Structure 1
Amino acid sequence: MAEQIQKKLQGELEKYQQLQKDLSRSVTARQKLEAQLTENNIVKEELELLDATNTIFKLMGPVLVKQEMEEAKTTVGKRLDYITGEMWQALRAADAGAGATLGAAARDAGAAAAGAAAGAGEGLNILGYP
Structure 2
Amino acid sequence: MRKFLFFVIGGIVLIFTIFFIYKYLYVYADGSKAGELNYFAKKGYMFKTYEGRLIQSGFRGRQPNTLQSNEFTFSVVDEKVAQKLLRCSGKQVEVHYKQYLGALPWRGYSVYIVDSILSVTDPLTLEKEQL
> TM-score if structure 1 supplies the norm length?
0.31
Higher relative contact order (CA 8 A, sep 6+): 1
Report which of the two structures shows the higher radius of gyration computed on alpha carbons: 1
> As a proportion of its length, which structure holds more strand?
2
> TM-score if structure 2 supplies the norm length?
0.31
